[in-house]
Structure 1
Amino acid sequence: MTSRLLLISPAIGPALREACFYDGSSSIDEAPAATGALPKAAHVVLSPGARCRDTAEALGQRGVTAAELAPLDAGQWRGRTLAEVAATDGEALTRWLTDPDYAAPDGESVQDVCARVGHWLASVPDGRTIAVVEPEVLRATVVHALALPTGTFWRLDIPPLTATELSGRSGRWNLRLGRALGGE
C-alpha cells in the first residue's frame, strides 16, 4: 500500500514575520481561510509548538505531537531575530547557514535535523497522513525523501499555509508539486 504524506506549513505569525528563531511559544495571527479544505486522513501529526497546533485546529485537524518533528534547535539563538544574531554572532550565523554540519551554539545542525526527520519519515504508515510542521521540518523532510544534498536545505522556500505532498512506499518517495490547499 502507498503512504501519502500531506505536509502543511503553519499560518503566519509574529515569529515568522519577524524572521525570529522560533522558541515554540509564538502563535498565528489569524485563522486560515482554508478551514475544512483538507482531505480526510487516517493520521494527523504536528510539530511541537503553538503555531502548528493553532494552524491544525483552525484547519479542523486534531493530531498528536511528534517530538521528531520539532523545529531545528537554534540553541542560544532561540527567540532572537536573524538581524540580532547577525549583529552579535555574524560569523557563526554565516557558517550555520552555509555548512550543513555546523550547529548553532548549543543547538543542532541542518544535518542533524534532516537525520532526525528522516528517521520519523521511515515510520510514516500506509494511507494518508497530514502533518502540520514548521518550515524547516518540511525542508528536512523533502531533502531526506528525495536524497538531496543537505546543502539544498536553505534553498527550499516554504511559504506559510501551503501544502506539499509526498507519496511512496518502501523508502521511495515522490514529490507532488503545485497542490492547492484543499484540492485533491
Structure 2
Amino acid sequence: MHLRITLVAAARSSSLLDERFDEDRPLAAAGWQEAERAIPAYAHLAGAELRYCSPTMRCRETGDALGLRPIAQPALRDCDMGRWRGRTFQEVAASEPRAVDAWLADPHAGPHGGESLFSFILRIGDWLDTRPADGGEQGGALIAAVVEPTVLRAAVVYALKAPPHTYWRVDAHPLSSVTLTGRAGDWMLSMDH
C-alpha cells in the first residue's frame, strides 16, 4: 500500500539572523501573515487522514493557521543540539569553531553533546517508514505534517537515500513543502507547486 506524505515547513518564528538551534518560539507576526496567505495553497491538506506536526509551538501554530489541527509527534522534533540549544550558529561558531567544523564535516559527529546529523536523519526516516499504510480513497493514506525545516531536509535526504552530507545542500524555506510517495524504504520525491 502506497502513502502520500506532504511535509510543510513551519512559518517563521524569528528573523534568519536570530534563528536559534532547537528552539521553541511561537510564530512571529510575519510568520502568521505568511501562514494566512498560504491557506489556499494548503487547503487540500485538511482532508488528510492523518495530520501531524513537530512538537514546537511554531509548528503547532502553523498547522492551526492552515486549518490542519495537527497532532504533535515527538519523533518529528528538531535535531537534539545538546549544549548548543538556544544559541545562534554565529554564537557557537565564535565560541567553538573547531566543534562547528567537525559537526559540518562529519555527519556522525556530535560535538554539542546531542544527536549526530546521521542519527537525526535515521530518526526521521524511521518515522516515515512506520506510518500506517491503510485507508485513502485511492488505496493509500494521505498524511500531512507541519515540521521544522530541518526535519523536512532530513526527510528528503532519507527518502532519496542520499549520503548524509547532502543534508547541507537541501534548502527548506518557511512554508515550502515536499511530498513523498511510496512505502517504507521505497520513497519517491514529488515536487510541489
TM over 0.5: yes
Q: Is the 8 A contact 1:74 1:104 kept in 2?
A: no
Q: Which stretches of structure 1, 4 residues or more, deviate above 6 A after TM superposition? A: none
- Aligned-residue CA RMSD in angstroms? 1.5
The alignment's TM-score, normalised by the length of structure 2, stands at 0.87
Secondary structure of 1:23's match? coil
| Residue of structure 1 equivalent to 2:152 | 138
Q: Does 1:35 align with 2:39?
A: yes
Query: How far apart, in 2, do the equivalents of 1:22 and 1:12 lie?
Result: 14
Equivalence map 1:24-173=2 (5 Å): 24-29=24-29, 30-31=31-32, 32=35, 33-38=37-42, 39=44, 40-126=47-133, 127-173=141-187
Query: How far apart, in 2, do the equivalents of 1:78 and 1:169 lie?
Result: 33
More helix by share: 2
The alignment's TM-score, normalised by the length of structure 1, stands at 0.91
What's the offset of the Cα at 1:26? 4.1
Query: How far apart, in 1, do the equivalents of 2:112 and 2:174 lie?
Result: 27
Q: Percent sequence identity over matched residues?
A: 39
5+ residue gaps, structure 2, are 134-140
5+ residue gaps, structure 1, are none
Query: How far apart, in 2, do the equivalents of 1:26 and 1:35 lie?
Result: 18
What's the offset of the Cα at 1:16? 4.5
Q: Does 1:2 align with 2:9?
A: no
Aligned length: 179
Secondary structure of 1:35's match? helix
Query: How far apart, in 2, do the equivalents of 1:133 and 1:14 lie?
Result: 16
Greater mean alpha carbon deviation, residues 73-82 or residues 168-177 = 168-177
What's the offset of the Cα at 1:44? 0.6
